[in-house]
Structure 1
Amino acid sequence: MSSTEQLTGTVERVEIQSQFLGETREVHVYLPHNYSPLYKYPVLYINDGSDYMMMGRMITLLNERFQDRTAGRFLVVFVPVDKALRSDEYHPEGARHEGYVRFFADELVPAIEDRFAAFPMGPARGIMGSSLGATAALHTLLQYPKKFHYVALQSGAFKESTFAELEGRRDLATVPVYQVVGLQEATFKSGNGKIIDILALNRRLRDLLQAQGVDVQYAEYDHDHTWGFWQEDLPRALDHFVRHTAF
């Protein structure tokens, strides 16, 4: 191999028959170039998986990251969503939300850990998402706090039911949370034309989590609700994930 040749990871497609969703779901699993079944790896599960792969350019980022032989290795599971069903699955009051969360925790995770060399423990499992995908990530963790011990939230579009679910929780103090939002997200216009103050929602969530003793790495940047922002932020998010899931 020449000094300029880049080592690249592989992406495997995995089909999972979901009882909770009543259909077969396909996910994409990224394995570092030096992946070995003789080791165990933390796993980062990602909502809006296709968007993170394409618009987030995350495969390129991971390949670049793992050129450094000292970089902590982990697996990434990209979970695509049908855009026509995204709100139904990601919104905490969506018609398919409960089924999606149960698929995620009770079908997806066991399937990945049966096929790949993943640490079968909560502190080695993280979930990441942006916008409504971040909301779904947080609600999955809230419903399965023993199965997932890490969450990364990019510009979460949190709902009143999110805050209601968090009230009085005493089992989240050991969960590291990575949270970012853009200063230009105070007037985000949703698909139905509604103006949402994403910035205020994120500040409210941060305050509520910190009041419950949660370790939140929180930051605000001069950005809008766009993939340009989230893509730029990914190296910071991945650094945080590695620091909190290293074994």
Structure 2
Amino acid sequence: MVQRRQILAAGLSFGLLGSISVTHAAPQAGGRFVDIESFPSQFITPRKVRIWLPPDYNEQERYDSLYMHDGQNLFEPAASFAHGAWEVDKHLVALRAANAIRPTIVVAIWNGQSYRSREYGPQEPIETLSPALQARIPRPSADGGTSPQADAYIKFIAEELVPYIDQHFPTIAKHDHRFLMGSSMGGLISLYALSKYPSLFGGAGCLSIHWIIATNPQLTTPPDRTSLATIARSYRTWLQQHLPAAGQHKIYFDHGDQGLDALYGEHQQQIDQLMREKHYQQDKDWVTRYFAGADHNERAWRARLAEPLRFLLK
């Protein structure tokens, strides 16, 4: 059974959003979905947002909130890429049953499809690169544009989506109960958003984080590692100046060694050194995990998803 109703986005932050159409699915053993098919925005193109509520959801209780990118890959195999969905709902139900995490809702944000690379590439580091290197990053979208859009994307999350969620759902509206998570470029934008809005978010889960940023690293065979290292260094340099101070946030990194993940190890080691220099404590407020044999796809992320969920939400 599905119920559809209009919710007026109230409050000063929603002045230009108007009414939002919301679809409520009937509760299931694995929880239920609240779908907003086209969340309006002043900053980016409208897109679908899905809120997952746990099976024992109770409006009298208070919940952590987990904002996840690439929303179409998180729950249902039919909507995901070739390697199936992450099955986020099943992981959260199992972990909660084991009392391993706090009560949590998920806010799944659909990617902008042809805009994905432009929205997920960390904008300020990219803009420090030469035009030739910048051209390797934002794949042109349907409108022919190539300019980075990450700042607009995270502004949408911080200034429009988070206030809406906190107003309409019983969340704990504190930074240490609000988290971000994504894989590949979704990991890039999770860390970028945390660093730009450290008072809003308490942590980021970055699976197979795409340190090389370039959308097509195989332009040459073997890959042009010199250019990729320069691109990766731009983000590392930015993080040296903007990473939140240790002690108030949690950051999770991981990678495998197959496919694109085979390019990440050397860059992750340099980031690990940066984390130490910033006084992040391994296994307390920062974790880096290596998974031998793991590839760069949804199947691999699904297999280890419990790791970042436990770390962020324990």
TM-score (norm 2): 0.68
Aligned with 1:40 (options 49, 53, 62)? 62
Following superposition, the deviation at residue 224 of structure 1 comes to 1.8
Instruction: Give the Cα separation in 2 of the matches to 1:16 and 1:111.
Output: 10
- The answer to whether the Cα contact below 8 Å between 1:11 and 1:31 also exists between their aligned partners in 2 is yes
1:83 aligns with 2:113: yes
1:202 aligns with 2:272: no
Residue deviations 1:71-112 (CA, integer Å, cap 9, x gap): 531111111112211101001135221110100111111011
Aligned residue for 2:307, secondary structure, equals: helix
Residue deviations 1:179-237 (CA, integer Å, cap 9, x gap): 1111335xx29xxxxxx722222222222122101231111011121222111111111
Structure 2 gap segments, 5+ residues each:
1-27, 77-84, 124-146, 212-231
Q: How many residues align?
A: 229
Instruction: Give the Cα separation in 2 of the matches to 1:29 and 1:85.
Output: 22
Aligned to 2:182: 129
Instruction: Give the Cα separation in 2 of the matches to 1:170 and 1:80.
Output: 26
Instruction: Give the Cα separation in 1 of the matches to 2:177 and 2:154.
Output: 18
1:162-201 counterparts in 2 under 5 A?
162-169=235-242, 171-173=244-246, 174-184=248-258, 188=260, 197-201=263-267
Aligned with 2:288 (options 218, 232, 238)? 218
More deviation in 66-75 or 88-97? Answer: 66-75
Q: Give the residue type in structure 1 aligned to 2:235.
A: T
Structure 1 gap segments, 5+ residues each:
1-5, 190-195
Instruction: Give the Cα separation in 2 of the matches to 1:162 and 1:12.
Output: 35
Aligned residue for 1:26, secondary structure, equals: strand
Aligned with 2:104 (options 68, 74, 99)? 74
Distance 1:62 1:108, change over 3 A: same
Aligned to 1:151: 204
Larger Rg: 2
Following superposition, the deviation at residue 177 of structure 1 comes to 1.1
Distance 1:170 1:63, change over 3 A: closer
Distance 1:211 1:58, change over 3 A: same
Identity of aligned residues (%): 25
Instruction: Give the Cα separation in 2 of the matches to 1:107 and 1:179.
Output: 27
Following superposition, the deviation at residue 169 of structure 1 comes to 4.2
Instruction: Give the Cα separation in 2 of the matches to 1:234 and 1:83.
Output: 23
- The answer to whether the Cα contact below 8 Å between 2:195 and 2:243 also exists between their aligned partners in 1 is no
More deviation in 161-170 or 224-233? Answer: 161-170
Instruction: Give the Cα separation in 2 of the matches to 1:170 and 1:34.
Output: 36
